[in-house]
Amino acid sequence: MKVDVDAEVARIYADVIRRNPAEPEFHQAVREVLESLAVVLGRHPEFTAHKTVERICEPERQIIFRVPWQDDRGEVHIARGFRVEYNSALGPYKGGLRFHPSVNLGIVKFLGFEQIFKNALTGMPIGGGKGGSDFDPKGRSDSEVMRFCQSFMTELYRHLGEYTDVPAGDIGVGAREIGFLFGQYKRITNRYEAGVLTGKGLSYGGALVRTEATGYGAVFFASEMLAVRGEEFEGKTVSVSGSGNVAIYAVEKAQQFGARVVTVSDSSGYVVDENGIDLDLLKQVKLSERARISEYSARRPGAVFVPAADGSIWDVPCDVAIPSASQNELPEDGAVALVRNGCRIVVEGANMPTTPKAVRVLQEAGVGFGPGKAANAGGVATSALEMQQNASRDRWSFERTETRLEEIMRDIHQRCHATSEEYGDPGNLVLGANVAGFLQVAEAVHAHGLV
């Protein structure tokens, strides 16, 4: 019997909303994937018969737990911890931990759902998961962060393992936090299981390029998008949002490719530096001092700081935009401004930073759009390379790891581009990424039976 695929997609989405109320980010992530799958369900009726899409939309396991901790004054705080182990069809659950006041179950599920397909696109044997806490490390001492991480891991450790679930960092979780988490895991388990966490320090099993990987990877992906158009980064004006690891190393790699990067930002506002971002100063302000981005403009002649309430970073003219801060940071009016000012490529450095309406504006205007599940896969790809090195008790050079990262990002782009052509919409990398990632996961789900 012929299936009405549009009706089937609508039914699945309605069921996701019913079963997961009040989780708008998760709904958005699911809808974005489902909109690409009608063409797949038309060619593969077995996915409808076996409810493959519904099985992938439902996490295999959702863990929520209490995290009590004590600050330096002796005051007790109660945070909430999460780990959504979403899909293990391709390998152990793999995905970061986010420590930020905005973290809730819906946010973690949206991130974990995206991670399934992102990880599949890397071609590495890793499944999808995500976790975190509503704890805010900003302004906390090292001792407070250590006590929180130890309490967090005291509960989470029982769900982890190098063949089960391998977390990494995300917003609010850097080398400091990973170190404290790994130390507590080792203490509790009495095992030096280096492969259980990635993003570790270089002195105890971390991989070179891991810190730079997501930002570098996004620029490698953008470079491939430009090459399809017969262009390159040399001489391009680039706008980057954010000022964390992703943004900083996107700036670094874009500059190495000959681009002029003119913006960075944080939650307080953004900086415009028409002479090009001073990378050393940016690293000093954000990585060493953990200061506000306004400190950059205070020390950099010619740079201008614009408070968040007074303007949008997307009003700054550029050829290439790399949103690298947080979800839904690039709205419809921001996309309109980018188009009006001649932007030709938008590549997502963050997870789902572009709203659905903004994506439509960009695509209808012919702006090349690189979705996060493809463009920012460099971080998790390098995490998988770190797992390889830990498993073999090996350590690769920076050059070897970066070369492998560039190869992976090139392969992801080629795969997405080829899939978009095969499924009737050449150049639509959203369709290409969603379909390519879904097909790989779906085939593995079927191979494992009804589990």
Q: Which residues are catalytic?
A: 130
Evaluate whether 61-193 and 213-375 have a shared fold: yes
User: Would you list the domain boundaries of the chain?
Assistant: 5-57, 61-193, 213-375
Low-confidence ranges of the chain (pLDDT < 70): 1-2
Superfamily of the domain at 61-193: Leucine Dehydrogenase, chain A, domain 1 (3.40.50.10860)
Q: Which tokens is 130 given? A: 């995500």
Classify 187 as helix, strand or coil: helix
**pLDDT reported for residue 375:** 98
**pLDDT reported for residue 172:** 93
**pLDDT reported for residue 2:** 62
**pLDDT reported for residue 197:** 98
Q: For Cα atoms 188, 191, 192, give the angle at the middle one, nearest 5 degrees.
A: 120
- Give 69-93 pLDDT, tens digit per residue: 999 999 999 999 999 999 999 999 9
Q: Which tokens is 433 given? A: 């990424």
Tell me the C-alpha distance between 205 and 389, whole Å: 8
Domain 213-375 sits in CATH at 3.40.50.720
Q: What DSSP assignment string belongs to 258-308?
A: T-EEEEEEETTEEEE-TT---HHHHHIIIIIS---THHHHHHSTT-EEEEG
